Amino acid sequence: MNDSGDIKGKLTFAVTLMVSATLCFSVLVMVVALVAGLWFDNIDNSEIFKLISPAFQTIIGGFIGLLAGVKLSNADDTEPPCRGNKQ
């Protein structure tokens, strides 16, 4: 049968891949919106920056935190020292 560590590793890889792809797509869309705001004369730059700046920071920070959490929790497979043999 499948080892539970193998399933956990595959699931972690799949989640990390999906989060990374979503992060890349989000950054690409925001960069396109910023470039459109800079090059097109009929778009007000100040409104574009006011709308995209907080969203950009939130999305980037959230996804980086999620990726770090997945990687850190994956490295912490050892049993905690407080769970010793009870006698």
Annotated domain spans of the chain: 23-74
Q: Which amino acid is present at 72?
A: L
* Contact indicator for 34, 75 with CB cutoff of 8 Å: no
Please tell me whether residue 86 adopts helix, strand or coil conformation: coil
* Contact indicator for 60, 29 with CB cutoff of 8 Å: no
Q: Which two tokens stand for residue 29?
A: 């869309």
Q: Tens digit of pLDDT for each residue in 21-42? A: 888 898 898 888 778 778 888 8
Q: Tens digit of pLDDT for each residue in 63-79? A: 788 778 777 776 655 56
> DSSP for 66-80?
HHHHHHHHHH--SPP
pTM equals 0.59
